[in-house]
Structure 1
Amino acid sequence: MSHAHREIADSTGRANVQIGWVTYLARHRGTVPPLPAPVRIEQVEDKGTLIVLTPERFTADNPEHVALAERVRELLDRAGLLKPLQAKP
């Protein structure tokens, strides 16, 4: 995630998970739901999932890219995948 996109997406710096051009989510977080085109979802063996927002270079100057990243963040959050990790007892 670029610094410019981070400032747009989370100006407070408090987000638990940032959604960038490419995002990895470990399998134990849950199943990634269907995401809007042109997002690509790729399984990484049995370890987790790579989420690639756009086939072309993602830029924070492109409002469509920023809107897509926010939409994907909302969908992942709604699916419960962005909760803070809990320390194991």
Structure 2
Amino acid sequence: MLNSNYETGSDLHVATYTAYLHTDKKLYTDAAHKTPAKKTEIEHAFMLGRLIIAAADKTYLPIALAAGGVVVTDGTTATTCTMAADEG
């Protein structure tokens, strides 16, 4: 049997989680690119199938979760978007 990923109470009624891609290929929680997205946040949203990556001119659905980050593609070029390490 496949492993189950359960949503929690904080996920209830959430359609998507949006991370913002900066030109430095890092993911942020805000469009102003002030707060780096944490690894656990990105992994959780990806595993629920609700992660959207917003760039300046495109919006991506991630295609893979790798050790180095989330992989997105525009149909020709794959890009790995990195996230901040979890603290503590």
Structure number with higher helix proportion: 1
**Bigger share in strand:** 2
TM-score, normalization by structure 2: 0.25
Higher relative contact order (CA 8 A, sep 6+): 1
Q: TM-score, normalised by structure 1?
A: 0.25
